[in-house]
Amino acid sequence: MYCSIVLAFTIYLLGVCTAASAESTDTDPNISSMPIVDIGYARYRASQYDEDNDYYLFSNIRYAAPPTGSRRFQLPEPPFYEEEINDGSVGYACNQATNIQFKWLDLVTSPDRQSEDCLFLDVYVPGWLVRDQMIAFNSPLSNFTFDTSAIDGSSFFKGLPVLTWIHGGGYTFGEKGGIHNPKGLLTVAEGRLVYVAINYRLGAFGFLAGKKVKAKGATNAGYHDQRMALKWINQHIDKFGGNPDDVTVMGESAGASSLLHHLTAPEDVLFHRAILQSIAFYPQYDNAILEAQYQKFASLAGCEDDDSFECLISADSDDLARANKDAVFDTLYGTFQFGPYVDHKYVPLLPVFRLAYGTYNKDVQIMSAYNIDEGFIFSDPTVVTTIQFDALVDRHFPNASEDVVEYIKELYPGRDYNTYFTRVSDIIAEWIVECYSHYLVEAYPGAYLYRFSIFPGIHSADVPLTFWGGSSALEQAGRSLLQVDDIEHLAVSFQSYLVSFAISGDPNKYRLKDNEVPTIYFPKSSEWRGKPMLNVNRRGFSYLSLTDDGPDKERCKFWQEGDWTGRY
User: Is the predicted pLDDT of residue 106 greater than 70, yes or no?
Assistant: no
Q: Give the pLDDT confidence score for residue 21 in this predicted structure.
A: 40
Domain 2-565 coded CATH 3.40.50.1820: yes
Q: Give the pLDDT confidence score for residue 104 in this predicted structure.
A: 67
pLDDT per residue as tens digits for the range 166-214? 999 999 999 999 889 999 999 999 999 999 999 999 999 999 999 999 9
User: Is the predicted pLDDT of residue 10 greater than 60, yes or no?
Assistant: no
Q: Are strands 273-277 and 448-452 parallel, antiparallel or unpaired?
A: unpaired
Q: Give the pLDDT confidence score for residue 3 in this predicted structure.
A: 46
Q: Under a CB-based contact definition with an 8 Å cutoff, are residues 234 and 245 in contact?
A: no
In whole angstroms, what is the distance from residue 16 CA to residue 109 CA? 10
In this prediction, residues 46-72 reach a mean pLDDT of: 96
Q: Give the pLDDT confidence score for residue 481 in this predicted structure.
A: 95
253 is catalytic: yes
Q: Give the pLDDT confidence score for residue 112 in this predicted structure.
A: 84
Q: What's the residue count for the chain? A: 568
In this prediction, residues 227-240 reach a mean pLDDT of: 97
Q: Give the pLDDT confidence score for residue 59 in this predicted structure.
A: 97
The predicted model scores a pTM of: 0.93
Q: Give the pLDDT confidence score for residue 178 in this predicted structure.
A: 86
Q: Give the pLDDT confidence score for residue 386 in this predicted structure.
A: 96
User: Is the predicted pLDDT of residue 15 greater than 50, yes or no?
Assistant: no
In whole angstroms, what is the distance from residue 144 CA to residue 270 CA? 30
pLDDT per residue as tens digits for the range 316-350? 999 999 999 999 998 999 999 999 999 999 999 99
pLDDT per residue as tens digits for the range 508-564? 999 999 999 999 999 999 998 889 999 999 999 999 999 999 999 999 999 999 999
Q: Provide φ and ψ at 466, rounded to 5°.
A: -60, -40
User: Is the predicted pLDDT of residue 142 greater than 60, yes or no?
Assistant: no
What residues contact residue 165 under an 8 Å CB cut-off, 6+ apart? 176, 180, 182, 195, 196, 197, 198, 249, 250, 251, 255
Q: Where are the domains of the chain?
A: 2-565
pLDDT category of residue 157 using cuts at 50, 70 and 90: low
Q: Is the peptide bond before 126 cis (omega within 30 degrees of 0)?
A: no
Using a CB cutoff of 8 Å and minimum separation of 24, what contacts does 149-156 make?
151/241
User: Is the predicted pLDDT of residue 147 greater than 90, yes or no?
Assistant: no
Q: Of 24, 253, 258, 460, which is the active-site residue?
A: 253
In whole angstroms, what is the distance from residue 526 CA to residue 533 CA? 10
Q: Give the pLDDT confidence score for residue 110 in this predicted structure.
A: 76
**Closest-CA residue to 146 (of 36, 32, 31):** 36
Other C-beta atoms lying within 10 Å of the C-beta of residue 416: 9
In whole angstroms, what is the distance from residue 443 CA to residue 155 CA? 38
User: Is the predicted pLDDT of residue 17 greater than 80, yes or no?
Assistant: no
User: Is the predicted pLDDT of residue 108 greater than 70, yes or no?
Assistant: no
Q: Give the pLDDT confidence score for residue 432 in this predicted structure.
A: 97
pLDDT category of residue 306 using cuts at 50, 70 and 90: confident
pLDDT category of residue 250 using cuts at 50, 70 and 90: very high
**3-class secondary structure per residue, 98-110:** CCHHHHHHHHCCC
Q: Give kind and range of the element (H or E) at residue 191.
A: none
Instruction: Choose the weakest-confidence range: 297-301, 499-503, 527-531.
Output: 527-531
In this prediction, residues 440-464 reach a mean pLDDT of: 97
In this prediction, residues 475-479 reach a mean pLDDT of: 94
Q: Maximum distance among all alpha carbons in the chain?
A: 76
User: Is the predicted pLDDT of residue 154 greater than 50, yes or no?
Assistant: no
Q: Give the pLDDT confidence score for residue 105 in this predicted structure.
A: 67
Written as one string, the DSSP assignment of 508-532 is: TTT--SSSSS-------TTT-SS--
User: Is the predicted pLDDT of residue 474 greater than 60, yes or no?
Assistant: yes
**Closest-CA residue to 187 (of 478, 530, 541, 493):** 493
Q: Where are the beta strands (DSSP E) in 137-241?
A: 160-166, 194-198
Q: Give the pLDDT confidence score for residue 362 in this predicted structure.
A: 96
pLDDT category of residue 23 using cuts at 50, 70 and 90: very low
Q: Under a CB-based contact definition with an 8 Å cutoff, are residues 194 and 161 in contact?
A: yes
In whole angstroms, what is the distance from residue 31 CA to residue 67 CA? 29
What average pLDDT does the chain have?
91
What residues contact residue 492 under an 8 Å CB cut-off, 6+ apart? 184, 188, 468, 469, 512, 515, 517
User: Is the predicted pLDDT of residue 4 greater than 60, yes or no?
Assistant: no
Q: Give the pLDDT confidence score for residue 153 in this predicted structure.
A: 45
Higher per-residue confidence, 19 vs 480: 480
User: Is the predicted pLDDT of residue 26 greater than 50, yes or no?
Assistant: no
User: Is the predicted pLDDT of residue 357 greater than 60, yes or no?
Assistant: yes
Q: Give the pLDDT confidence score for residue 424 in this predicted structure.
A: 97
User: Is the predicted pLDDT of residue 420 greater than 90, yes or no?
Assistant: yes
